[in-house]
Amino acid sequence: MSLLSQLIAINRARQLSRQFRDIERCINALPKRGRSRLGELALREIGQASRSDFPHLYGTPSDERYRPWGQGTTIGFARARSENPEVALRGIALWLAVAYHETKDSPYPSLQPHYRQLTRVLRELKEAHSTDSTDTWMNSPAAA
């Protein structure tokens, strides 16, 4: 059974890696304001997922709770490819939140590098959000 679990984890790591490359490309293509908005959405999605019973299954329909992993990353990835910018942002945020919780405390070595990559991207988005908030405040008429 341990070998089967390892194989499932390796397969999942490959899938997350492929999706992460596309998600990261989408993030890098966003303007500064879009990254700021994405940082806000991603942190909100992570918070909502952490309040659910099974954070790594966030976004998964309740009748599919007994799979090795949830459908949140698949749903988020599909939305991230949308032509509608708002749907794409929300899809990226969902993908980041679910992938974060899925890899956070993973006992499988093949998933741990993905957690480090996700935390790096989330930190960059958080910094972009805090910088944008400061810039907005400084340039507002009330600051003059």
Residue 101: name the closest of 50, 26, 25 by CA: 50
When the pLDDT of each residue in the chain is averaged and rounded to a whole number, the result is 85
Mean pLDDT calculated for residue range 32-54: 90
**pTM, to two decimals:** 0.84
Mean pLDDT calculated for residue range 78-90: 94
Q: Give the whole-angstrom CA distance, residue 13 versus residue 112.
A: 9
Whether 94 and 72 have beta carbons less than 8 Å apart is answered as yes
Indicate whether 134 belongs to any domain.
Answer: no
Indicate whether 72 belongs to any domain.
Answer: yes
Indicate whether 138 belongs to any domain.
Answer: no
**Residue position matching structure tokens 């993905």:** 114
* Residue range(s) defining the domain that contains residue 58: 2-129
Indicate whether 135 belongs to any domain.
Answer: no
Three-point CA angle 115, 17, 78, nearest 5°: 105
Domains identified in the chain, total number? 1
105-126: pLDDT as tens digits: 888 888 889 999 999 999 999 8
Indicate whether 125 belongs to any domain.
Answer: yes
- Better-scored residue on pLDDT, 107 or 141: 107
Which residues make Cβ contacts (< 8 Å) with residue 107, sequence separation at least 6?
none
Question: Looking at residue 93, what DSSP letter applies?
Answer: H
